[in-house]
Structure 1
């Protein structure tokens, strides 16, 4: 079942951004689980290793990846039919696009890599 065709720039970008952020949120949930397990194994506290600013930044990057993908997928008239498949694709763009954008930032912006 397809959602009605959307023809507003802000709606297309917002829908793409929200789905991208959701995809990145799923990716972050996996990372947070790994961080919690790692912290428990090392005797460190999860709260000491968790960075809220990094978490929020990664969600924002997921939003940007999804919005950019929605923009590129839309027709020149900014129409985009938000079917189930398109929404899942936008989530995947947020999931995978965040890795890509963070990798580019690490290569081109000095000091942007997180110290391990």
Structure 2
């Protein structure tokens, strides 16, 4: 990757973010379809089940994942290839899924009163607690 000036970095991060949010938007569309089916089963309106704040957070996470992914994917800022665009969109789709799943585990643990297990202290024996 050649060195970029400030404007090229802003362009790359913004482009990656928008494409990542687009990938996340595709995931959101699938979720809305499932939500429509759930609303029909429960015999309620879709608006009763939609949380706009959750959609916004989801798209924001896709933007962040796409921005970061764009740094690693784009080879030449002035000649972005279709496969690079599709890779960034996939990063937005999958990256948001990964981050939301991770956040969900942390919030579930905090609701249950559990705290995440701390890693072993520096200098601890690597075989402490190992099976076998």
Q: TM-score, normalised by structure 1?
A: 0.80
Q: Which residue of 1 aligns with 2:121?
A: none
Q: Which residue of 2 aligns with 1:103?
A: 101
Q: How many residues align structurally?
A: 103
Q: Unaligned regions of 5+ residues in structure 1, if any?
A: 1-6, 112-116
Aligned equivalents of 1:93 and 1:25: distance in 2?
Answer: 12
Q: Which moved more, 1:18-27 or 1:40-49?
A: 40-49
CA contact (8 A) 2:74 2:84 kept: no
Offset from partner CA, 1:27-72 (integer Å, 9 cap, x none): 1001001101110111122111100000011000000110010123
Aligned equivalents of 1:107 and 1:30: distance in 2?
Answer: 22
Q: CA deviation at 1:104?
A: 1.6
Higher-Rg structure is 2
Which of the pair has the greater relative contact order for Cα pairs under 8 Å at 6+ separation? 1
Q: Unaligned regions of 5+ residues in structure 2, if any?
A: 112-132
Offset from partner CA, 1:48-107 (integer Å, 9 cap, x none): 1100000011000000110010123356xxx54411110011001111111111112123
Mapping 1:8-47, distance limit 5 Å:
8-47=8-47
